[in-house]
Amino acid sequence: MRRDILLLLGAVIIASAAGYTYLNYDNLQLSAGVIFIGTFLLSWAAPKKFLVFALMIGSSVLLANIYASTNRLDVPAPPGGIAEALLAFIPAVVAGIGGMIIGGGVSNLPDKLGPPADAARVASLEATADLSSGAEPYDPTRQPAAGKKATQPASGPLSGPENTPGQKPRPFA
């Protein structure tokens, strides 16, 4: 519980830093870098909460833009409407997913999902399957039939149009 509160406090601090850099510097890449690095580190620390961090930190530019417009502050970067402020969510989400993957949020995913499928569901799908095409469902326990052998391509010359003696290859011109 204490760790979650500290991580959320860290997200607020990083969002404040990103908003500050957006309002006080002439470079949008600086605030995007703060957003990317902060979201990545927090998502790495708590992979299950990556979306919370991405939304909190990504909204910092939008909130700074709203703050500047309500207080009639001059924003050094071109505001360009609300769409440009929403672009801050792109590095936040990308960094959040990257931090989640590296932090181990996906490594335990097969254990969390449980068995691949319910046996009754698989049986009902096989019962309703159209097997008129001759294809059979895969059964790993089935042994190949003794009478059936794999067909091998015939060895020897390939059939096709023959090169008659009257036709000579043309040299490259």
Radius of gyration of the chain (CA): 31
Tell whether the torsion through CA atoms of 37, 39, 41 and 44 is positive or negative: negative
pLDDT at residue number 18: 92
pLDDT at residue number 34: 94
CA nearest 42: which of 58, 19, 61?
58
pLDDT at residue number 114: 55
DSSP string, 10-46: HHHHHHHHHHHHHHH-S-HHHHHHHHHHHHHHHHHH-
pLDDT at residue number 102: 86
Mean pLDDT, all residues of the chain = 76
The 10 Å Cβ neighbour count of residue 27 is 12
- Parts of the chain with a pLDDT under 50: none
pTM, whole model, 2 decimals? 0.58
Ramachandran category for residue 16: left, alpha or beta (phi over 0 → left; psi -120 to 50 → alpha)? alpha
Enter the tokens of residue 140.
Answer: 């790993």
For 65-75, write each residue's pLDDT tens digit. 888 888 888 77
pLDDT at residue number 68: 84
For 67-106, write each residue's pLDDT tens digit. 888 888 877 666 566 676 778 889 999 999 999 888 876 6
pLDDT at residue number 131: 58
The 10 Å Cβ neighbour count of residue 51 is 14
